[in-house]
Amino acid sequence: MLPDKDGPGAGGGRGPSEGEDPSVGLFREYLRLRTVHPDPDYDVALLLLDRLAEELGLPLKKYEICPGRVVSILTWEGTNPALKSVLLNSHTDVVPVFQEHWKCDAFSAFKDAEGNIYARGSQDMKCVTIQYIQAVRRLKAEGRKLTRTVHLTFVPDEEIGGHKGMETFVNHPEFQKLNIGFALDEGLANPGEAFTVFYGERNPWWITVHCPGSPGHGSRFVENTAAEKLRKVMNSFLDFREKEKQRLNTSECFTLGDVTTVNMTMVKGGVAYNVIPAEMDASFDLRIPPTVNLQEFERQIKQWCKEAGEDVTYEFAQKHTNQTLTSTDDNDPWWSAFREACKALDMTLEKEIFPAASDSRFIRALGIPAIGFSPMNRTPILLHDHNEYLNEKVFLKGISVYEKLIPALASVPACPDEA
């Protein structure tokens, strides 16, 4: 049972718990760091990474990609560093918390009697960060040597619009020096037995439609108003939304990543109750699967605006158009290594298009294959939700998964372009 948020135990086990696995203790320590937007404390995360790098005996480099925003890179050099490296990416920031909806302090890392650890970032994605690190720790303790170099990157600002951390870093000269051949990034939990693997992403389009109209007094039937145009725009977008929703609900072969989601997220306009506004705006969040013809889709948006009325226009706050997919063909060496390592652990994989957006899209845009994967099965999807949690047994199993995946990927034989 969770503690009342204002009652005894709301601090949720600040000190180490007797008999607790050290990896779980480290995970909970990381969860307590308030790297939360809108003002994430990245300095405390950097201090923790410094300590962990020293414990692992591995070099940690830091690059300030913009003021106050640092990318850290932990490197385990392989026996053949001339080969392309393996990248294990994670982000250090977490989304805001509405504490009144939580049953405990969202940064207490409270663990209940069932071993569920409640904290913002427990699923997205501080778990993966610590799983990477602890898997490397175990491999090094065993005296393992890897053929390919493995880089662990810890990036800021993934959770804000535009993913400025990795989006900026991929254009940094130091990123090119990493010579990456394959990347692992975050995925999602799966409530069932299987583990979800993401080989592509939907493109996010953030669009604002401007509807100008005739102003006037609120007591009159003014013609050609902004509100009338806005209603037509809303109807066009939301009617399309309903059609896509029906496609998802009526086809067993579709997942959320296979359809286009449309959500109206902002409406602006008006100055007073009795004044008909001269302009009204509506903003939409669209997520478009890689199977959609983006040029045709934008032509449809133009048509909706034209049908809404004179001078209705739109502009993008964000418009991503890269539709690159990572190969999951049986003969692909990277996918084959990933799949076989999972098979050896008796894991069932479900391949999907990632329904939201992650840093993988910036990596794939460079032509680097990337897989989104978080080893969380038997777990409800609670990223960005209230009372986000991860069970400690699921967390610990994830370390064992990476303990197999990392050497498997770092042992992929030289590809033709590396010969």
Q: Amino acid identity, residue 45?
A: A
Task: Kindly give the pairing relationship between strand 110-111 and strand 313-319.
Answer: unpaired
CA dihedral for 217, 218, 219, 222, sign (positive or negative): positive
Could you tell me if 130 and 31 are in contact, meaning their C-beta atoms sit under 8 angstroms apart?
no
Selected catalytic residue, list 93, 186, 201, 392 = 93
Identify whether 157 is a catalytic site residue. Answer: no
Q: Contact, 15 vs 32, CB < 8 A?
A: no
With CA atoms as reference, report the closest residue to 106 among 97, 95, 93, 115: 97
- By the 8 A CB rule, do 181 and 415 touch? yes
Roughly what angle, to the nearest 10 degrees, separates helices 126-141 and 392-410? 60
Q: Collapse the DSSP code of 127 into the 3-class scheme (helix H, G, I; strand E, B; otherwise coil) and give the result.
A: helix
> Do residues 326 and 199 touch, judged by C-beta distance below 8 A?
yes
Structure tokens at 71: 């990318």
Which residue carries 């001078």 as its tokens?
Answer: 311
Q: 371: which residues sit within 8 A by CB, 6+ positions away?
A: 182, 183, 184, 185, 197, 198, 199, 326, 335, 338, 360
- Check if 29 is active-site: no
H helices present in 116-272, as ranges: 126-141, 164-169, 173-177, 226-250
Specify the amino acid at residue 401: V
Instruction: Exactly one of 105, 158, 281, 359 is catalytic; name it.
Output: 158
The H helix count followed by the E strand count for the chain is 10, 17
Fill in the DSSP letter of residue 278: S
Residue 203 β-bridge partners: 288
Q: What is the DSSP letter of 415?
A: P
Which residues are catalytically annotated?
A: 93, 158
